[in-house]
Structure 1
Amino acid sequence: MVDVELRHLVTMAAIVEEGTFGRAAARLGYTQSTISQQVAGLERSVGGALFERPGGPRPVRLTPLGSVVLEQGRELLAKADALSDAIDRFKAGGGRIDIGTFQSVSHVILPPLIGRLRAEQPGCEIKLIDMPAETPQIGDLDLLFYDRPLDDGVEQLRLVDDPYLLVARPGDLPAGPVALTALDGRPMIGCHETCDQVWMEPAVAAGARPEIAFRTPGNETILSMVRAGLGWTALPWLALYGADARSDKRLALHPLEPAPTRGIYLHWPANAAQSPLAVRAIEISREIAAEVSASWAAAAGR
């Protein structure tokens, strides 16, 4: 393999563009003897003369070998420039980030998160992966949103305390909070067992036995079933906020007492170097979570 230094290729290109060693030296800030030494070193590396030197004021010309070296050298210089630019963009927060997510986060936290990241780094690449409700793995992801802490090989940040609300039709119940015991024997529209477990266990502990009429993983479908009078549901505030359920006159939202609450967590690989883009995503997620929490506090009249 030929041992070629990029600085020697820069010098060679400058000589061709300027026509003489002297003008190339002035452009690059070298002495003419330094330019000659660099060309000599490059010629030793490639095993042949690169320039024809006619002497006097006439410009130097490339030899056939010089033309080959310069053609390939320009490609190497372009790739080196691209590498330098990519490194600079990475350090500034560019690059790519892979994020695992789920329904509620995708509707509420991710849109402003992606918007802010792209406003700061228009060239960044963001890939979203919908995670299974059961036992998600962080794998090769940079970040993972999930509604409970994970145990293996991750660091985590609890972003939001997300209380469950009872969703019924207007007139089904008096306005205001509803005791968990009121769910006893009521047909309920469930989401999936992992999500429903958060409110089902406290309800059972309080002495209620809700009946899950059926389950569907889509929040919009669940709310449509409630509108149709097929049952009530218990959904977390974040899901209802994302579905704009508060402004739907066909639905009535009631705090549950005692209030079942899930956590929304952001996870990332433990003991792994994070990209500046991932670090910034964590910072922005924290800011958005504070805004969402403030919206819930205002809605709850706190």
Structure 2
Amino acid sequence: MKKSLWSSIELRHFIALAEVGRTGSFTAAATSLGYTQSAVSQQIKRLETVVGQQLVERSGGAQPVALTTAGQVLVSHAEAIEARLASAEADLQALRDGVAGHLRLGSYESVGARILPHALKEFSTQWPHIQVVLEEHDDDEILLSHVERGELDLTFMVFPLIPGPFSATELLEDPYVLVVSDDSPLLHEDLPLRLDRLSELPLATYGELRDVHGIAARLGRPSLSRQVILRSNDNGTILGMAAQGLAVAVMPQLSVDPYQPGIKVLELERVSPRIVGIAWHNGRRVTPAMKAFIDVATTIAAQIKSRR
């Protein structure tokens, strides 16, 4: 049988055959489906023409009709097709309701290490059919631009927001700290450590980020930029420099691995914390899954704060 003929079969043909088999009557099948008897007969005839086999035993008179073996085989396939269509309908409904599909999420290293794994574990329990697609970048301005272009649904970020069509919620205050080697003379200083004690010390800090996140802007000491001997967006590299006594590191506390050997963390005097948040496009619909992830991230951030 030519494939082109099979491709002309419509779902209504299968449904008509299945209903004839179920009711044992062309008339009853037509009544059930809202067709005329002649319409049902034409659909069955079309099927038989395409498959090249008789599908219904027509006994004549008042005797019920029955499906032939070929008809039964075809109906079994028809039932599978209907089940797949019902599944497709349910999947699309779930997608429309926000309970299935993808959640595209932006993140950066410190959040990815300390908040994201716990949030994903809880979120996947609540929303098992949502696949989280992660995009990572050191610069939250780039992540926010991807939200604006519709390439991300949500992104972790640090306040203040850049100009744009964004809404955001605060998750956590993340204080800046000084990371030194475990034999540093600064360990004998009074805490919190005064910023003037950083004068002339070699510094390790982050690479290219928004200006507002730079060490000079964050500490209000433009001269500190001249003391930076290493810039890296890898927390492990910065902490390694501090552990070896090659530099002291000014970092958000969330970025510090508490199990890194050879380091100590010192509180800094009068340094405003960075405010970690999560942002989305304020011109697009916030799906239930997006809201659920925001709620989970907020809960995890609160747990981190309570342990400090």
Q: Return 266-275 or 203-212, whichever deviates more.
A: 203-212
Corresponding position: 1:169 with 2:181: yes
2:243–2:263 CA contact under 8 A, matched in 1: yes
Aligned positions, number: 282
For residues 190-246 of structure 1, give each alpha carbon's deviation from its aligned partner in whole angstroms, at most 9, with x where no partner exists. 222427844422534497666001112111111111111101001101112xx2x2x
Instruction: Identify which of 33, 54, 66 aligns with 1:60.
Output: 66
- Structure 2 residue identity aligned to 1:79: R
> 2:107 matched to which residue of 1?
101
Q: Give SS of 1:194's match.
A: coil
Corresponding position: 1:218 with 2:215: no
Q: Distance in 1 between matches of 2:224 and 2:47?
A: 91
Q: Distance in 1 between matches of 2:115 and 2:32?
A: 57
| Cα deviation, residue 291, structure 1 | 1.5
2:155–2:278 CA contact under 8 A, matched in 1: yes
Q: Distance in 1 between matches of 2:185 and 2:171?
A: 33
CA RMSD, 1 decimal: 3.6
> 1:227 matched to which residue of 2?
243
For residues 240-276 of structure 1, give each alpha carbon's deviation from its aligned partner in whole angstroms, at most 9, with x where no partner exists. 2xx2x2x556222111111232121211122212332
Counterpart mapping for 1:155-194 below 5 A: 155-170=167-182, 171-173=184-186, 174=189, 176-194=191-209
Q: Distance in 1 between matches of 2:247 and 2:43?
A: 81
Instruction: Identify which of 211, 216, 228 aligns with 1:200.
Output: 216
Q: Distance in 2 between matches of 1:144 and 1:184?
A: 36
The percentage of aligned residue pairs carrying the same residue is 20
- Structure 1 residue identity aligned to 2:237: T
For residues 35-77 of structure 1, give each alpha carbon's deviation from its aligned partner in whole angstroms, at most 9, with x where no partner exists. 374474455568747745324555423698x789858754642
Q: Distance in 1 between matches of 2:210 and 2:249?
A: 12
Q: Give SS of 2:175's match.
A: strand
Corresponding position: 1:20 with 2:24: yes
Instruction: Identify which of 120, 141, 164 aligns with 1:135.
Output: 141
> 1:110 matched to which residue of 2?
116
Q: Could you state the TM-score of these two structures normalised by the residue count of structure 2?
A: 0.76
Q: Structure 1 residues 49 and 209 mapped into 2: Cα distance closer, same or farther (>3 Å)?
A: closer
For residues 84-108 of structure 1, give each alpha carbon's deviation from its aligned partner in whole angstroms, at most 9, with x where no partner exists. 3314544372321111111011111
2:215–2:224 CA contact under 8 A, matched in 1: no
Q: Could you state the TM-score of these two structures normalised by the residue count of structure 1?
A: 0.77
2:108–2:136 CA contact under 8 A, matched in 1: yes
> 2:52 matched to which residue of 1?
none
